[in-house]
Amino acid sequence: MSPRRSTRFGPAGLWTTLAMAAHLPACDTPSRLYRQVIAAYIDSLEQAPLDCGEERANWGEPGDQAGRQCLVDAYDEGIPARFTSVRETNEGEPVTSDYFVEVDSGGERVVYFIDQGRDDAAADEVWRYDCASVSLSDAGLLSLSGCDTVEVLTEVP
């Protein structure tokens, strides 16, 4: 009796599995530097921020309107909060951004981080903007203003 050959995937199944693996959520994870910078930033906060959620969408898709509204409401009410956005570039690379509402004796501000490390066209950097305010545009997008401080991080501060 000859040994049986066991094939887990047929020819089409293997290619389908490989194609699906290219779009697994793990591929959408931020760069290592970004994860470290965000973790260090959260550890430095005096109060844990309200979690306004995370959106995952392609450019041009509406995204999580409730999460965006949560961030703006938290800013308006002086409540520390966080909202995360994962969007794909035109080339299909995931770019993660985090918006934090900070509250201190000087009032509210928004700290905005963007991960450049997953974009093949960019350097492995994390950009930080400190902004005076946040609102929703007529299109339902987050609109930051007074962003006069920019820091480019290439290592964890």
In a domain, residue 7? The reply is no
pLDDT at 11 over 60: no
Q: What is the pLDDT of residue 84?
A: 95
Residue 117 lies in a domain: yes
pLDDT digits (tens, 9 = 90+) for 50-103: 999 999 988 777 789 999 999 999 999 999 999 999 988 777 778 899 999 999
Tokens 């480019």 locate to 152
For residue 20, pLDDT over 60 is answered with: no
Residue 130 within any structural domain of the chain: yes
Asked if residue 4 has pLDDT above 50, the reply is: no
- The count of domains in the chain is 1
Burial of 61 (0-12, 13-18, 19+ CB in 10 A): exposed
Poorest-pLDDT segment among 4-13, 25-34, 61-70: 4-13
Tell me the residue range of the domain where 92 lies. Answer: 28-153
